[in-house]
Amino acid sequence: METSSSEPEPHYHQPSPRPPPGVQFNVDENWVSIDDGNGGHSPIAPQAVDALVSIGYKVANDPMMWTPTSKTRKFCCDKRLAFNDTPIPGPRVEGTGSSLDSECMLWTGKFNHKYYGSDLPAVRAVGIVNMCAEDLVDLLMDSNRVGEYNKASKGRRDELTLSDGKKKDCPFSGRRKKKLSGVVIQGSLIVDGCAQVTSEDDGGGSSGYYGSTTSSRRKDKASRHVGVTKIVRSRNQVPLIRRELEFTSLLHCRELLEEQGGNGYIICA
């Protein structure tokens, strides 16, 4: 879709208010194309996925949006747990657990924006799954294993893979170097749009650092699905409904940043 004049194209390089065919125009909405028409991603796709991750994390942790079910409210009151105190399991020996492992706390909510999809119901769930984070990510991201946890599934297939996760610093990994804006530290060296600062340490040597979105944890082990971004088509046979429902979704996985708590992953769909 590149033009000879290299002018930005609507949807491809920048958002456009023009919706896809069959979608009603809304003055408050902008649309982007996530693929380039040749099996790759558009230039704006990584930024769009970044925004999806950001709003997904923000919404999941917004206490004003969620109303607990009566069972969840009672459980939190009995355990004296506030919204942000919901238990997060720490390291444990696989195969061991407690009587609370089967508890699943539920909240219902409604999106406070008026954009596309805001009318859909929202559900927040918190529970403990007795497997390591990497194994759980592999289970959820592998389209061939959906039937292991979703009994209503009639299959899910990958339609288009924008990023396969093989390059850990790919545009969809969340590890891209932040481009500079504003004040630049004096004496810094600009390398590919990033500030690299050299300073003297106590031993007379030099040390360097640069701004990055990378989390410093899990250097020894990380899921192979970090950075994976793909379009999937799934079919489900919902109970009490005779016909199959088909959904097309964008599925993306990345590691949590340090400021998001780190030591985990986020999957957006």
Q: Is residue 95 part of a domain?
A: yes
Each residue of 45-102: pLDDT tens digit? Answer: 999 999 999 999 999 989 999 999 999 999 888 888 888 765 554 444 444 445 456 7
Residues 42, 123, single domain; the answer is no
pLDDT in the model for residue 177: 55
Residues 137, 225, single domain; the answer is yes
Tell me which H or E stretch contains 229: strand 229-236
Distance (Å, whole) CA 190 – CA 135: 39
Regarding beta strands 122-127 and 153-163, do their DSSP bridges make them parallel or antiparallel, or are they unpaired?
A: unpaired
Q: Is residue 38 part of a domain?
A: yes
Query: What average pLDDT score do residues 160-184 get?
Result: 74
Range(s) of the domain holding residue 238: 29-60+131-176+215-269
Query: What average pLDDT score do residues 131-152 get?
Result: 93
pTM here is 0.74
Question: What are the tokens at 163?
Answer: 């990023």
Q: Considering its fold, how many domains does the chain have in total?
A: 3
DSSP 108-170: EE--SS-STTTTS-EEEEEE--SS-HHHHHHHHH-GGGGGGT-TTEEEEEEEEEEE-S-STTS
Confidence bin at 137 (pLDDT 50/70/90)? very high
Q: Percent helix, strand, coil in the chain (nearest 5)? A: 20, 25, 55
Residues 196, 76, single domain; the answer is no
Residues 33, 150, single domain; the answer is yes
Percent residues over pLDDT 70 in the chain = 74
Q: Which of 33-42, 77-86, 88-97, 216-225 holds the top average pLDDT?
A: 33-42
Residues 70, 125, single domain; the answer is yes
Q: From residue 179, how far is each of 7, 183, 191, 194 by CA, in Å?
A: 22, 12, 10, 6
pLDDT in the model for residue 210: 34
DSSP 12-58: TTB-BSPPPTTS---TT--B---B-SSSSB-TTHHHHHHHHHHHHHH
Q: Which of 232, 201, 218 is nearest to 261 (CA)?
A: 218
Residues 200, 224, single domain; the answer is no
Q: Which of 74, 59, 72, 66 is nearest to 108 (CA)?
A: 66
Percent residues over pLDDT 90 in the chain = 36
Q: Which of 87-96, 127-136, 219-228, 241-250 has the lowest mean pLDDT?
A: 87-96
